[in-house]
Chain A
Amino acid sequence: MKELIARRAARLIQPGSVVNLGIGIPTLVSRYLDPDAVHLHTENGLLGVGPPPPPDRVDPNLVDAGKQPITRRAGASFFDSAASFAMIRGGHVDVAVLGALQVDERGHVANWAVPGDPVLGVGGAMDLLSGVRTVIVLMTHSTRDGAPKLVRECTLPLTGLRPASFVVTELAVFRVDEEGLVLVERAPGVPLETVRARTAARFREGEPLLPPGEGEGSA
């Protein structure tokens, strides 16, 4: 299911983009991106992230934001955290792929604080949401308990007031415009009634993002 979401999200990313992938399902997106067509940015200081190294070639000082070993591609550059977040906040990163706990019907994202726990970790989530041009949220459609994650209004603390650009789940792809969520694609074999039944947020139906044969049915 996570692979399905990651694969679908990869196809929303335009060739030539500078892309920051968050921890979790977003990291899987790199498997479906043409490494020669995009530049992966990690906020701990590298533009030009390459695939994980074989175990005998791990460099402990070369990691991604999830602290996993990575490599660097030809043309990569290293920089410090302040410069890295200047790239993010300054609008120089084209696409951020983020996980989320909830998204509301206007596209607002809650992805950093869990109810009941003290609020002690935020990382780069707010900077990415605030600064990156296209924000793609990836998440499972429901919580483990079966509750919808696409809600009328977030009950969890918001990560920012800037809405996501797209929301991708295992059931559907939504685009976000000024008025809110627009259903633009359903996963193969998923009827509209299923999306409606499992989505608490109100949404409109819109035109598919991709031509027939590339959108619904092939994700």
Chain B
Amino acid sequence: MTRPADKLIDADEAIRRTLFDGASVMVGGFGLVGKPLTLVTALNASPFRDLTILSNNLGEPGRYLGQTLQLGKIRRAIGSYFTTNPDVVRAYAEGTLQVTLLPQGTFSEAIRAGGAGLAAFYTPTGVGTLLAEGKEVREFRGRRYILEEALTADVALVRARRADRLGNLVYYATARNFNPAMATAAGKVIAEVDEIVEPGELDAEQIATPHLFVDHLVLAREHL
């Protein structure tokens, strides 16, 4: 049996152990709120490139995932809202960045479904719009739905408030956002937290991510 304390490692080490060139990486956060800042900084300092980043947006120019983009590490971005970063608009126009745009509810549900072992799902969101082009349309009970494929990734970088040494996670306020779903949907999951306590110290009723989803724990060095 793995000793529980083994999950806590250094951020750079966690990135080195899990990422590779061409990897797909889920990154939690709604803007910078709930973003694993320490891990993104470690990602930016790493040599890995040609990445597919699954994150609601790509931040602001030059900051965190915005810096990842400026460093030329991102080949493809999947998310719901990229217009706030002019670098994304420019990279897309120049053809150096592929973008897959999904409605935010479809993005979050696709990750949830991916983590739950589902291949795809039908949603009414987006029927008849530009974002439904090329997607299967099917009618159920008199209403039209489009088929959306589930999303998974090689690695997920998530942010939580507290963990115990087993990797159970408790979140905080609206920093929760995409993190719990992403923690279920990747081959390797690294959780960045403010504090690590002993098993039994977290209220079992409040644990939103049970430890079986979490491979590595990293202490946050950077904060909002």
Cβ of A81 to closest chain B Cβ, rounded Å: 4
* B111-A158 in contact (CB<8A): no
Q: How far is B92's CA from A52's CA once the two chains are assembled, in angstroms?
A: 36
Interface string of B74-116 (1 = CB under 8 A from A): 0000001111100011001100000101111110110110000
Contact of A157 among B34, B111, B130, B177 (CB under 8 A): B130
* A120-B178 in contact (CB<8A): no
* B129-A82 in contact (CB<8A): no
- Residue from A65, A81, A121 with most neighbouring chain B CB atoms (10 Å): A81
Interface string of B150-191 (1 = CB under 8 A from A): 000000000000000000000111111111110000000000
Interface stretch, picked from B13-21, B39-47, B120-128, is: B120-128
B66 interface residue per 8 A CB criterion: no
* A127-B93 in contact (CB<8A): no
Q: How far is B177's CA from A44's CA once the two chains are assembled, in angstroms?
A: 6
Given A44-B177, A120-B101, A124-B103: A61 touches B82 (CB 8 Å cut-off): no
A180 interface residue per 8 A CB criterion: no
Interface stretch, picked from A94-102, A111-119, A191-199, A209-217, is: A111-119
A12 interface residue per 8 A CB criterion: no
Give every chain B residue within 8 A of A45 (Cβ-Cβ).
Answer: 30, 174, 176-177
Given A124-B80, A130-B127, A161-B127: A82 touches B112 (CB 8 Å cut-off): yes
- Residue from B103, B105, B131 with most neighbouring chain A CB atoms (10 Å): B105
Q: How far is B126's CA from A56's CA once the two chains are assembled, in angstroms?
A: 41
* A121-B84 in contact (CB<8A): yes
B1 interface residue per 8 A CB criterion: no
* Those of A47-103 within 8 Å (CB) of chain B: 59-63, 65, 67, 72, 78-82, 84-86, 88-89
Give every chain B residue within 8 A of A124 (Cβ-Cβ).
Answer: 80, 103-105
Give every chain B residue within 8 A of A117 (Cβ-Cβ).
Answer: 83, 89
Given A44-B30, A63-B174, A123-B80: A85 touches B129 (CB 8 Å cut-off): no
Given A61-B173, A121-B80: A126 touches B92 (CB 8 Å cut-off): no
Q: How far is B176's CA from A42's CA once the two chains are assembled, in angstroms?
A: 13
Give every chain A residue within 8 A of B125 (Cβ-Cβ).
Answer: 89, 126-127, 130-131, 160
Cβ of B205 to closest chain A Cβ, rounded Å: 14
Taking residues whose C-beta sits less than 8 angstroms from the other chain, chain A's interface range is: 35 or more
Q: How far is B160's CA from A78's CA once the two chains are assembled, in angstroms?
A: 14
* B174-A122 in contact (CB<8A): no
Contact of A82 among B82, B109, B131 (CB under 8 A): B109
Give every chain A residue within 8 A of B34 (Cβ-Cβ).
Answer: 61
* B128-A158 in contact (CB<8A): yes
Give the A-B pair count, Cβ closer than 8 A.
143
Q: How far is B34's CA from A63's CA once the two chains are assembled, in angstroms?
A: 11
- What is the interface of chain A mostly: helix, strand, loop, or mixed? loop
Given A60-B33, A119-B130: A126 touches B103 (CB 8 Å cut-off): yes
Cβ of B181 to closest chain A Cβ, rounded Å: 5
Give every chain A residue within 8 A of B177 (Cβ-Cβ).
Answer: 44-45, 80-81
Give every chain A residue within 8 A of B33 (Cβ-Cβ).
Answer: 44, 60-61, 63, 67
- Contact sample, A vs B, 27 pairs, CB 8 Å cutoff: A45-B174, A45-B176, A59-B173, A61-B174, A62-B173, A72-B173, A78-B173, A78-B174, A78-B176, A80-B108, A80-B176, A80-B177, A80-B178, A80-B181, A85-B108, A85-B109, A86-B109, A113-B130, A120-B101, A121-B57, A121-B84, A122-B81, A122-B101, A124-B103, A127-B104, A130-B124, A130-B125
Residues on B lying within 8 angstroms of A by beta carbon are 30-31, 33-34, 56-57, 80-84, 88-89, 92-93, 99, 101-106, 108-109, 111-112, 123-131, 171-181, 208, 224
Residues on A lying within 8 angstroms of B by beta carbon are 42-46, 59-63, 65, 67, 72, 78-82, 84-86, 88-89, 113, 117-127, 130-131, 157-161
Extra contacts, 17 of them, besides A43-B105, A61-B175, A72-B173 (Cβ < 8 A), are A43-B104, A46-B173, A59-B173, A63-B174, A67-B30, A80-B179, A82-B181, A85-B109, A89-B109, A118-B92, A120-B82, A121-B101, A122-B80, A122-B104, A123-B103, A126-B131, A131-B124
